[in-house]
Amino acid sequence: MKNYFPKQIKIGNKIIGEDYPTYIIAEIGANFDGNIEKAKELIKAAKECGADCAKFQSFKAEKIVSAGGFSKMKLKGIHGSWGRPVHEVFRDAEFPREWHKEINDYCIELGIDFSTSPYDFEAVDLCIDLNVPFIKIGSGEITWLEMLTFIAKKNKPMFLATGDATMSEIDEAIRTIESTGNNQLVLMQCITNYPSLIESANINVLKTFQTAFNILTGYSDHSPGPVVALGSIALGAKVIEKHFTLSNYDIGPDHPHSMNVNEFKRMVDYIRELEEALGSTRKVVVEEEAETVYVQRRGLYSTKFIPKGKIIDRDDLTVLRPALGIYPKYKDSVIGRTASKNIEEDAPIYWTDL
């Protein structure tokens, strides 16, 4: 059994990890509205926005929700906002199994990765048959250890969402996956609410994940705007997932909290700009600072004409820009030294003048 997690994982023809671009997932979810042509339109738009992956969710209503169970609950969250029985909404949002290959082929044709979150064993096997580059495990599955084991044994890279999970539950899930020998895992911070609150984002927990598990991290973000995604990347996230729609005004459970095309494109542009801005951990003087090293700093200058042979005193010196000669921190070392040549008034003082 391996007891470590790699710092780089190959996803399709890309590598995610340190020193590689953030892997960006357009989570289409149920936003295809039961229409395969709309699904393709979403994939094409995601590709044009710069997403690396168009992702769906593979569930069958009868295998993920209990109509009887939900009928006993008084729901206050997003499930309660639908105004319809939960199992009906799930049934209408099913991504038909027979569409998977056609959609996968379409993604290959466009040059964008295809993946899907499986919610039953048959869906996992379908992912394997389609050779998806990774399997995303939704937050709701994190305590279903039998499913985690089943997925992990397929030896595919996995992205594990951690919404509404405690650290002990996350640890148990990780150890369950690790026990299979598959260590290709990215741990995704997530808040399981739609939309989730900015103040609930808790981006800093990524640092906890990185320290506690020494693992690649990402963020499956349901909050409005790009702030959480950008902040996550600044804290080391290597994968970002955001719901994606053509229009927030379309009717369906995922449209209202999804990013539309313009918002998603703007987020991708911001991410790529942020990656350039992050640079490295090495402090360097960049090319555009080459002149300011002299212009903005100060050096020792003569306040008056200093003849050759004069012992330099404090009144002979001032500290001015640009820093052409001796740095001010050496002023006490210059005082008391003898001028080796005539020094004109308002001239920078060099070590060769002494």
User: In this structure, how many other beta carbons lie within 10 angstroms of the beta carbon of residue 269?
Assistant: 13
pLDDT band per the 50, 70, 90 thresholds, residue 99: very high
Q: What is the pLDDT of residue 67?
A: 72
> Quick one: which of 147, 111, 154, 93 has its CA closest to 129?
154
Core vs surface per residue 39-76: b (16+ CB within 10 A) or e? bbebbebbbebbbbbbbbbbbbbeebbeeeeeeeeeee
Residue 1 half-sphere exposure, CB side, CA atoms within 13 Å? Answer: 10
Q: Are 312 and 337 in contact (CB under 8 A)?
A: yes
pLDDT band per the 50, 70, 90 thresholds, residue 1: very low
Tell me the pTM.
0.89
pLDDT band per the 50, 70, 90 thresholds, residue 46: very high
Cα 249 to Cα 227: distance, rounded to the nearest angstrom: 22
Residue 229 half-sphere exposure, CB side, CA atoms within 13 Å? Answer: 30
Q: What is the pLDDT of residue 30?
A: 92
pLDDT tens digit sequence for 264-317: 999 999 999 999 999 988 999 999 999 999 999 999 999 999 999 999 999 999
Mind giving me the DSSP string for 122-144?
HHHHHHHHHT-S-EEE-GGGTT-
- Under DSSP, is residue 323 helix (H, G, I), strand (E, B) or coil? coil
CA distances from 8 to 157, 178, 213, 216 (A): 11, 16, 15, 8
- Per the listing, tokens 């029985």 go with 85
